[in-house]
Amino acid sequence: QCAAACPFGAMYERTELDEVKAAIADPNKIVVIQTAPAVRVGIGEEFGYEPGTYLEGKMVGALRALGADYVVDTNFGADLTIMEEASELIERVLHGHGKLPQFTSCCPAWVKFCETYFPEYTSHISTTRSCIAMEAAALKTYFAKNMNIDPANIVSVSVAPCTAKKFEIRRPEQNKSAEYWGRDDLRDTDYCLTTREFAQWLRDENVDFTAVEDSEFDKYIGAASGGGVIFGNTGGVMEAAMRTAYKFITGKEPSPEPLTKLEAVRGMDGVKEAEVAIGDKTLKVAVVHGGKNIRDFLNEMKANGKEYDFVEMMACRGGCIGGGGQPRVKMPVADKVKGERITGLYNHDAAMKLRSSYENPEIKAIYEDFLGHPLGELSEQLLHTTYVDRSGDLGVRKDVTPETCPTSPKFKK
């Protein structure tokens, strides 16, 4: 255990930095590290850069300096998430296969909150796995095959802005490569480090981040579109999904605007709503970030019966750029810093040639050479998951009824 996450010492952040360092030192292990979208606009703050400075090349170079055998991009996993999630949305909206609204699934804190407090909505959460989980499943199957590496020798590490991912990687449902290979000694993601732990690791090893030379991600699962880049901020998943859903439904390119700059879902408002015209269909969408906003939104939706087609939910204010594992910022400047991180991601997206997930050449290759097609048999096996009812964690016993409870007046002996 390391830095206390609670000022009163009641709660601790558990680190696996020692385990990762041991894997790096083990010549029999191949350490593959993936980096989430928000890390590249956060890590610089630990070393004196202005908030929002986009440091992708330096981040990759720093991980290589620390001894990573391969560095791959969670943004590729984000593009893969969009391919599946947009396809699932189309199935629900156009073909009536599944409940509406569809909720996003990439935030494990939101997913667990829903399972615990609103279990009646778990069937609304997209079955599509999160971008980190997608990347990890592709790593220990497709990447391992292409690189001719025994997946049991791979140590899969994710560097993320998120403390909740440490929980997500241990969910039994999030372990698809073991099923694929028919062996029980595999886990899709072995360890998760936060952005702050990554910074600590650099300090421990005396790596001067400011002097590190830029490097590029490794191939097969290392390329991304602008849609993958903006996954790191509130509204980004929605905008990326709309770009690809537009292409899938109409057959036309969503560029240049409005879908490559969906203003209505951008910015720091806690709840943002929009109507997005796609072909002859108008999708009603909403983007919600921050725990209280999520609770209020769901209670209001239940009370007033307002209908939506697709809702993005992120537990942290600002989305993942404001995650619990990012460099700490305090009020009153927190929103300003988060806004600068968001601008860093949008600026990079705007400068990219490929803006939509379906355009990513490595995404095309993984479907052509390995998966088949979105929602196909192998995609369903590796890239989709299930959720559970956790309301019992609150002490509500589903197996006890008034008739079986000895303290109830309706108890029947």
Name the residues that contact ligand SF4, by CB under 6 A. Answer: 107-109, 161-162, 164, 314-316, 319-320, 323
Q: Closer to ligand SF4 at the Cβ: 108 or 227?
A: 108
The closest of 306, 138, 277 to 221, measured between CA atoms, is 138
Spatial contact of 138 and 371, defined as CB atoms under 8 Å apart: no
Q: Point out the catalytic residue in the list 16, 46, 87, 126.
A: 126
Rounded to a whole number of angstroms, the minimum distance from the CB of residue 253 to ligand SF4 is 29
Question: Nearer to ligand SF4 by C-beta: 63 or 294?
Answer: 294
Residue 149: how many CB atoms within 10 A of its CB?
A: 17
Q: Kindly name the residue from 58, 112, 140, 165 that is annotated as catalytic.
A: 165
> Which residue among 85, 135, 359, 362 is the active-site one?
85
Kindly state the smallest distance separating residue 62's Cβ from ligand SF4, in Å.
21
Cβ neighbours around 184 below 10 Å, total: 9
Reported residue count of the chain is 413
Let me know if 405 is a catalytic residue: no
Q: Which candidate, 279, 362, 261, 263, places its Cα nearest to that of 93?
A: 279
Cα–Cα distance, 76 to 241 (Å, whole number): 14
Q: How far is the CB of 280 from ligand SF4 (least distance, A)?
A: 34
Is 140 catalytic? The answer is no
Best CA proximity match to 358, nearest among 255, 279, 244: 244
Question: In 265-393, which ranges are continuous DSSP H helix?
Answer: 291-304, 334-351, 361-366, 377-383
Q: Which two tokens stand for residue 257?
A: 């605007």
Catalytic residue among 50, 120, 173, 216: 173
Which of 45, 88, 115, 197 does the annotation list as catalytic?
Answer: 88
Q: Are 193 and 200 in contact (CB under 8 A)?
A: no
Q: Alpha-carbon distance 4 to 8, whole Å?
A: 8
Instruction: Label residues 235-254 b or e (16+ Cβ within 10 Å = b).
Output: bbbbbbbbbbbbbbbeeeeb
Instruction: Give the span between the Cα atoms of 366 and 363, in whole angstroms.
Output: 5
CA angle at residue 298 from 77 to 115, to 5 degrees?
A: 60
For ligand SF4, the closer CB: 143 or 231: 231
Catalytic residue status for 88: yes
| Residue 107 falls in the annotated catalytic set | no
- CA atoms 173, 177, 181, 186: torsion sign: negative
Q: Which one of the listed residues 16, 46, 84, 168 is annotated catalytic?
A: 168
Smallest distance, Å, CB 311 to ligand SF4? 14
Catalytic residue among 162, 320, 338, 362: 320
Which CB sits closer to ligand SF4, 205 or 393?
393
197 is catalytic: no
In whole angstroms, the minimum distance from the beta carbon of 107 to ligand SF4 comes to 3
- Minimum CB separation of residue 413 from ligand SF4 in Å reads 48
Looking at the DSSP assignment, which residues form a beta bridge with residue 250? none
Give me the least distance between CB of 35 and ligand SF4, in Å please.
Answer: 14
Least Cβ distance, residue 374 to ligand SF4 (angstroms): 22
Residue least distant from ligand SF4 (Cβ):
323
Nearer to ligand SF4, 144 or 265 (CB): 265
Comparing CB distances to ligand SF4, the nearer of 61 and 319 is 319
- Largest Cα separation within the chain, whole Å, is 76
Q: Which is nearer to ligand SF4, 60 or 132 (CB)?
A: 132
Establish whether 85 is a catalytic residue: yes
Distance between CA 89 and CA 98 in Å, rounded? 9
The nearer residue to ligand SF4, 160 or 375, going by C-beta atoms, is 160
Pairwise CA distance, residues 31 & 51, whole Å: 29
Determine the Cα–Cα distance for residues 101 and 307; give it in Å rounded to an integer: 7
**Catalytically annotated residues:** 85, 88, 106, 126, 165, 168, 173, 320
